[in-house]
Amino acid sequence: AAFDVMPVITIYPTSGAISEMLTIHGTGFGFKSDVAVYFKYDEVAYAKTDDYGNFTVSFNVPNLILCTYDVQAEDGDENKDKAGFTIVAGASLDKSTGHVGIGLTVSGTGFIAGEMVAIKYDNIAVATAAANSNGAFEATFQVPVSQHGDHTVTVSDGVNTKELTFTMESSPLGTAGAVKNAEHYLDGTFAVLN
């Protein structure tokens, strides 16, 4: 009886934003073969299999519209497999920690082109920005008075919503400097003493 080894790829994660890292694991491909990886129709990565036909390769998600795309790997002997990957809206903060009053920049991709993106710190509206023709935006706001610990920055265009975490430092000015003469309150705020 014959037994065929079939090439298989798995991708992680199965969805993500533009520029995020996507990793592909392949098994059952040719012995020490060159493998080309395609996202939609474009070659985006290259790998070489080991003695057992396995490979791992990572690359950044290309700049395409929000949709589900085929990711395919193929070696020189036409062993191939594909899996689906969905591009979704994504957002990030330029700092993960800081203090009251620090400038915090939030940027995003994959939002609805031309739509206004609302940005909230916890439940406080702090900024808005218009997504450009590619669905990207960037906005900067000053972190409002809040207790030390984790806070949620919400970004939404009404359809796509992302939540990010910003951690308020316990020292008044964090890494930017120390306030020597200050009175600290239980709610995390402080007053500078002359």
**How far apart are alpha carbons 50 and 101 in whole angstroms?**
53
Q: How many other C-beta atoms lie within 10 A of the C-beta of residue 183? A: 10
Q: What is the DSSP letter of 118?
A: E
> pLDDT tens per residue, the chain (194 residues)?
888 889 999 999 999 999 999 999 999 999 999 999 999 999 999 999 999 999 999 999 998 888 999 999 999 999 999 999 999 999 999 999 999 999 999 999 999 989 999 999 999 999 999 999 888 999 999 999 999 999 999 999 999 999 999 999 986 554 444 444 455 554 555 555 44
Instruction: Provide the Cα torsion 179, 181, 185, 188; round to 10°.
Output: 0
Cis peptide before 13 (omega within 30 of 0): yes
**How far apart are alpha carbons 183 and 128 in whole angstroms?**
34
